[in-house]
Each structure stands twice: as C-alpha cells, then as structure tokens.
Chain A
Amino acid sequence: MTTVLIVLLICLTVVLSAVIVVRPGITATRGGKMMAFLVLFALPILCVGMGGAAQLEHSKSTEFCLSCHIMEPYGRSLRIDDPGHLAAAHFQNHRVPADEACYTCHTNYAMFGGVKAKLGGLKHLYVYYLGKPPAPENIRLYEPYNNRECLHCHAGARSFEEGVVHTADPELLPALRANKTSCLSGGCHGTIHDIPGLKDAKYWKAGG
C-alpha cells in the first residue's frame, strides 16, 4: 500500500515536471516559479526520501535476501525438518517473522547497527557482482556472530534464564551475556544452516 502511494506521488511529480518541460514559459510568472520550485526541488526530494525508505524496508524481506542465486541453499535450510537446526526451528515456529527471517538474525542490534548491517549488505552486492563470490557452503560471516543478536530476543526469557543446561554451570550465563562463550558453540546451538547436510536432510512442507 505504501509503495502504491509513493508511486502515485512519483507519477504526480512526473506529470508536473512534464508540464514544465513542455511549457517552460509558465515559470515566468510568480506562480510558475513557485510551481517550478515545488516540482523540480521539493517533490523530487520527497519522492527520493520516501522511495529510499521503502527500498530499505524491502531489503529486510526474506524474499529480498533469497533472490540471489547464491542464497538458494540457505533458503532451503529454513525448511529442514529437524528442531536441532537453529535457523529452521526459528523460521518454522515463527520465532522470527517469516517475512524478515534473515534480517532479524543477521542484523546488528547495537547503536547504528542497522546502518552497519545495510553497509554489510552493500559489501555482499560488491562481492556478488564485481568480486569472486565463494561457493554457498564456503560463505562465512564477516565477523563472529555476536550473542547480542540472540539475546536481543532471548535475554530475560524463562527458557534462557532458567534452562537446565544454561544453569548447570553458574559461570555459563554470565559468559554468554558477555559474549565470551558463543551461543553457537559446538555442542550447544552449533547447527545453524548446515549447507553441506542439505542433500541428506528431510524437509518440512508448510500446510502439511
């Protein structure tokens, strides 16, 4: 709906700009000058601002992330029928919004983290189109996954704070909160996308 409104605003600006292109003489009058300012300055800035915001929202969608061919195995990994697979369990049980599944986990919840995440996305584009993209199974995060992104949702949750495994060692929870021990350590939640295991995996189909 927002996209439609922005496109309508763009169409209006285009039509008014076309009037100035076809009849530039109308800018000789005071009203024409005001119209020129509106059409050739204010409205285009508004259109670009709103369009840019809409594009940034689109870039958070699962569809956006998985539209690149190299991400196809990662999309398939979301449907693995195994609760031990972290990404699949989160996606299938809507622990993350299904339409923003990738962004919810792969953003950065620190200050200006959203901006950093977007800049990282531009780096992906550069590597994909102008660099040498690795094979899907060789794709690695630019930096180790920070527990902060998990704790953004899980901190304070009963399953995290009072889980049997988490409370067995009194030093574990502080280490997790301090990012000294990764949530994704082997033996804990270390099976995430499991790209090499996709060919042997069983898959869940939504709708039964």
Chain B
Amino acid sequence: MLGANVLERRLQIAGLLVILGLLVEASCLFWARPLAFVLFVFIGVTFVGAGLLVYLYSVVSVRH
C-alpha cells in the first residue's frame, strides 16, 4: 500500500487529505445549518488545502 519512494508516499498523503476534506464537504452540503458551514470552512477546506500543499511540495521537492 505504501508508495515505493518518498514522492509516491507524499502523493498518497496528499490524496488522503483531499479525500477526507472532500468527504467532509460533501456531507456538509446536505445540511443547511450554521454548524455545517463552519465544518465546511474549518475542517473541509483545511484538509483539502493541506492536501493541495502536500501535493505542491511533493512536486517541487522531487529530485531527478
């Protein structure tokens, strides 16, 4: 399951963070409550943002 090298592991971590964030967001979309809005912004966006940053870091830090 774990990637063979550092780059692949980072991509896996990025993917997992994005998945978690998007699942939180999808569940919040069906729930018209202020708490859903807060969870969407502070949990969902945070996880997705972290996944994006890990992906970008993995792209710029790869050594050929």
Contact = CB atoms under 8 A, between A and B. Distances in A.
Interface string A1-45: 001001100110110011011101101000000001001110011
Contacts of A45: 52
A203 interface: no
Size band of the interface chain A makes with B: 35 or more
Contacts of A58: 32, 36-37
Interface residues of B, number: 36
Given A40-B14, A55-B28, A67-B34, A17 B52 contact: no
A36 B25 CA distance: 21
Interface string B15-43: 11011011101101110111011101100
A48 B12 contact: no
Interface of B: 1, 3-4, 7-9, 11-12, 14-16, 18-19, 21-23, 25-26, 28-30, 32-34, 36-38, 40-41, 44-45, 48, 51-52, 55-56
B1 A64 contact: no
Contacts of B30: 3, 7
Contacts of A21: 11-12, 15-16, 19
A47 B11 contact: no
Contacts of A14: 19, 22-23, 26
18 contacts: A10-B26, A17-B15, A21-B19, A25-B3, A40-B14, A40-B15, A41-B55, A44-B18, A44-B21, A45-B52, A47-B48, A48-B45, A51-B40, A55-B29, A55-B36, A55-B40, A58-B32, A67-B32
A63 interface: yes
Given A41-B55, A44-B48, A51-B29, A18 B19 contact: yes
A68 B38 CA distance: 14
